Structure 1
């Protein structure tokens, strides 16, 4: 059976949901959509939530298994990506890498708990061609220089 996914969401264990919620609001422009005793739901738009921030057990640490990164495909052009990169730098967000994937460009960065996110600007909008290019190139991830705006 083929699963038809129409939308995704992400749930993260974090040290301090209120602190993380402020960060996600400030950096990603999200808003709080619901709150419980140990969790806060954040949304980009009118959906009930896109990212759930759940309080981790005391002493929890980032591990070697689990989420590698959460990619956020952005609308716009290279100047949009450059402005987002500049905003991350201006706000002191840890930028991990800047990558050319052959079919798009990514700026990878960490949230306050070390969860990695990516602003991804797709550059090849033909899905069939993009899949073929991505596969042929071996899912490339090459560094490139990006000037922040």
Structure 2
């Protein structure tokens, strides 16, 4: 029997294994701007946007001092962090650029615009915003036609009015 997950279903949070909890907190809270909600000693922390109990869990339970997971292995490809508006994506792009963070890519997917980078443990991150649904690209039959094109970074920065 076929089943379709309800349209209102959301992915609630991600829990990442990290090798150095403080280094990860410096990155996620200090650089990306997440808020520390609670810590469990030097082994785990829960961080959020806007006071939610947690969007990201960070722990060293099985990974303290360990190297990053191999790229060519099964596992997490990236965590996607959705920003509410294009200007918010522009602001984090400017902040990360000024901090000399190395990006792994930039893309316009038609439905969204995205920045790609890695955290200190080489976990992939996608920072993105979704275009309004009525702007999503569709073909003549109304089928979604996502794509990957170069992101116009200067156009993105224009959102900041500078």
TM bin (shorter chain): 0.7 to 0.9
Match of 1:146 in 2: 153
2:59 aligned residue: 54
Is the Cα–Cα contact under 8 Å of residues 82 and 130 in structure 2 kept in the other structure?
yes
Aligned residue runs from structure 1 range 89-100, under 5 A: 89-100=97-108
Q: Deviations over 1:84-121 (max 9, x none)?
A: 21211111222111101011111111111111112212
8 Å CA contact retained: 1:93, 1:111: no
* TM-score, normalised with respect to structure 2: 0.75
> Could you tell me how far apart the structure 2 residues matched to 1:131 and 1:39 are?
41
**Cα–Cα, structure 1 residues 59 and 10, in superposed 2: closer, same or farther, change >3 Å?**
same
For the pair shown, the structure with the greater C-alpha radius of gyration is 2
Corresponding residue for residue 132 of structure 2: 124
* Larger mean Cα displacement after TM superposition, 53-62 or 28-37: 53-62
| Residue aligning to 1:43 | 48
The alignment partner of 1:114 has SS state of: coil
Q: Compare the two structures and name the one with the higher strand fraction.
A: 1
**Cα distance in 1 between the residues matched to 2:29 and 2:148:** 28
Q: How far apart in 1 are the matches of 2:149 and 2:26?
A: 32
Aligned runs of 1:10-49 on 2, under 5 Å?
10-37=14-41, 38-49=43-54
Gaps of 5+ in 2: 158-162
- 1:7 deviates by 5.1
Calculate the aligned-residue CA RMSD, in Å. 2.6
Identify unmatched segments of 5+ residues in structure 1.
none
Query: How much has 1:83 moved relative to structure 2?
Result: 2.7
Aligned residues: 145
Q: CA separation in 1, counterparts of 2:95 and 2:153? A: 13
For 1:143, what is the secondary structure of its paired residue?
Answer: coil
Correspondence 1:107 to 2:115: yes
